[in-house]
Amino acid sequence: MSANPAITRSQIEKLVRESVYSQLGLAAPKAGPNPLVVNVSARHCHLTPQAVEQLFGPGHELTPMKWLYQDGQYAAEESVTMVGPRSRVISNLRILGPCRELNQVELAYTDSIALGYKIPVRQSGNIKGTPGCMLMGPAGFLELDEGVIRAAPHVHMNPDDAKFYGVKQGDYMKLRVGGELGVTFDRIFVRVSDSFKLEVHIDTDEGNACGLTPDSLVELVKT
């Protein structure tokens, strides 16, 4: 007699989600082609290859420490010290790889207060007119004239997900997070690419505000 096929993680998540909604007396949202993941993105920076060499030495390349949810993205073993206004410091600022075409630091609001910054909420890559800082590594330092932002909440999705939700690149959606706090985020920026998995990114302040846990009920809603 053949063994029963193993149940997949996505099937387990679907069953748990339906059970929880049923206990709450609510109808579970229609499942899309891929499971929705919401992750909290802690403060970090993205660097160019030239910046990495300036901070860590000629020929130095980032070393993957932990692979992230999006394919090919990782938290590097390398970190830097960030110096803000009035010489206030954040040490062990993690670098995310692979390298990019511009240098960018992403902080939460409470980070900016601690550093004495007033930083704007921006989409990644939109750094014109933003504050700068100094980054220090074991081989040198790098003065940035701009590039410090608070990253806007956003969702990565592939074209199948976009079709299911009826959205396109540049649209905004709502993210509902269940639980005792019951928070809804009204401006989740949509990014669409063939290489993306369905994932929402919020920062540490936003994750704490909504009490996000791995068991939180989450739902994307078209505005």
pLDDT tens sequence across 45-104: 999 999 999 999 999 999 999 999 999 999 999 999 999 988 899 999 999 999 999 999
The CA radius of gyration of the chain, in Å to the nearest whole number, is: 20
Tokens of 54: 């300036």
* pTM (predicted TM-score): 0.85
Do 47 and 96 form a contact (C-beta atoms < 8 A)?
A: no
Phi then psi for 89, rounded to 5 degrees? -125, 140
pLDDT at 86: 81
Listed in sequence order, the residues at least 6 apart from 66 whose beta carbon sits closer than 8 Å to its beta carbon are 74, 75
What's the per-residue H, E or C state across the chain? CCCCCCCCHHHHHHHHHHHHHHHCCCCCCCCCCCCCEEEEECCEEECCHHHHHHHHCCCCCCCEEEECCCCCCEEEEEEEEEECHHHCEEEEEEEEECCCCCCEEECCHHHHHHHCCCCCEECCCCCCCCCCEEEEECCEEEEECCCEEEECCEEEECHHHHHHHCCCCCCEEEEEECCCCCEEEEEEEEEECCCCCCEEEEEHHHHHHHCCCCCCCEEEEEC
Where in the chain do CATH 2.40.40.20 domains reside?
A: 9-39+153-222
Fold of 9-39+153-222: Barwin-like endoglucanases (2.40.40)
pLDDT tens sequence across 150-171: 999 999 999 999 999 999 999 9
Paired residues of 183 in beta bridges: 177
pLDDT at 87: 85
Phi then psi for 51, rounded to 5 degrees? -65, -40
pLDDT tens sequence across 173-186: 999 999 999 999 99
